[in-house]
Amino acid sequence: MHTENTPPLTRFEQEQRTVLPEFLTDTIRVITGHESIRRFDSTPIAAEAMEAILVSARSAPTSSNLQAYSIIVIQDDERRARMAHLVGDQGYVAEAPVMLVFCADTSRLRYLAERQGHPFAANNLEMFLTASIDASLALQNALVAAESLGLGAVPIGSVRNEPNRVAAELALPYGVVAIAGLTIGYPSAAARRGAKPRLPSDSVVHYEQYSTDDLEQHVTDYDAAMIANGLYAGRQVATGTHQVADSEYGWAEHTARRTSKPETLAGPSAALRDQLKDEVESRGFTIR
């Protein structure tokens, strides 16, 4: 049975930032307390809770009211087990009671064009971006809604490993491609490890114009924080280059190694991701 966990620290508390009580609303507390959860207990999610999450997702902004996205709700145990395999054998996908798959969707738009007697000419990069952003905004709304109800969640980008196999599993029509998944459930007792520290605000928030002032100091400070956090201990990315002590292996080295080769960024799915453009185009999105 599910029992309440201690509320997570907000990023204000983690970074020891002062915030007036009137600006630390329940919504902001949920958002700044986010932590990706990958271990779930067996408590089912009430239908009313799922309805609240899905209505919240559908309330996200959408470009020109096109609503160029769809959400697939996966509650069947066997289907989630198959999806767990398709997204890289991620056991928590099968463990959690619900997986949502957010899709870029032009299928309805194509139907409307035919219904109204017009050609469908929005088969381009802009439409793919528009539909992907619509889907991403809906996912974020669902995530915040779920966490506000005491649930845990984690987005899953590896639904893009094999778009056509995912499409077959979910019966996605032409013009629909999975962009990201979201696994939702009640966190297990040992699920929370604390939110990861983030880069200093000044390195990612720019006022008026982009600035690289103090970037080196920001990276140095963040490296030190991540080494102290121990997140990368024993997790060095193998690149054929020299290994360094865990006490010196931080975010900068880890990230540089991750982006040095396709296989270190995407792991075992790198070869699959190499086919992503072709598979997305085969689903009805021309990337040009």
Whether 244 and 131 share a structural domain: no
Within this chain, do residues 100 and 236 fall inside the same structural domain, yes or no? no
Q: Which domain, by its residues, includes 67? A: 36-193
Note whether 205 and 188 are same-domain residues: no
How many angstroms separate the CA atoms of 171 and 106, rounded?
Answer: 15
What is the percent of the chain where pLDDT is above 70? Answer: 93
Of 95-109, 169-183, 185-199, 217-231, which range is least confident? 185-199
| Model confidence band, residue 265 (pLDDT cutoffs 50, 70, 90) | low
Considering the domain architecture, whether residues 106 and 172 belong to the same structural domain is answered as: yes
Q: Express each pLDDT in 46-98 by its tens digit.
A: 999 999 999 999 999 999 999 999 999 999 999 999 999 999 999 999 999 99
- pLDDT beyond 70 at 6: no
Non-local (6+) Cβ contacts of 84 within 8 A are 90, 91, 92, 93, 94
Per-residue pLDDT at 2 exceeds 60: no
CA–CA dist 177, 69 (Å, integer) = 9
Q: What pLDDT, on the 0 to 100 scale, is given for residue 268? A: 59
Domain end point (choices 177, 193, 209):
193
In a domain, residue 167? The reply is yes
Q: pLDDT above 90 covers what percent of the chain?
A: 72
Mean of the pLDDT values across residues 33-54? 96
Q: Which of 162, 193, 224 is the last residue of a domain?
A: 193
**Mean pLDDT value across residues 269-285:** 80
- What mean pLDDT is predicted for residues 101-120? 98
Instruction: Look over the chain and give the mean of its residue pLDDT values, rounded to a whole number.
Output: 91
Looking at the structure, tell me whether residues 179 and 209 fall in a common domain: no
- C-alpha distances (whole Å) from 170 to each of 49, 72, 129, 161, 175 are 23, 8, 22, 15, 13
Q: Helix or strand or coil: residue 102?
A: strand
Least confident of 61-70, 148-157, 219-228, 272-281: 272-281
pLDDT digits (tens, 9 = 90+) for 124-176: 999 999 999 999 999 999 999 999 999 999 999 999 998 999 999 999 999 99
In this predicted structure, the answer to whether residue 1 has a pLDDT above a threshold of 60 is: no
CB contact set of 204 (below 8 Å; sequence gap of 6+): 198
Is residue 62 located within the same domain as residue 115?
yes
| Two structure tokens written together for 88 | 């890289």
C-alpha to C-alpha distance for 81 and 160, rounded to whole angstroms:
17
> Quick one: 45 and 110 in the same domain?
yes
Residue 71, beta-bridge partner list: 102
Total domains, the chain: 2
Q: Of the residues 161, 193, 225, which one is the last residue of a structural domain?
A: 193
Confidence of residue 34 (pLDDT cuts 50, 70, 90): very high
Q: Supply the CATH number for residue 104's domain.
A: 3.40.109.10
Residue 273 located in a structural domain: no
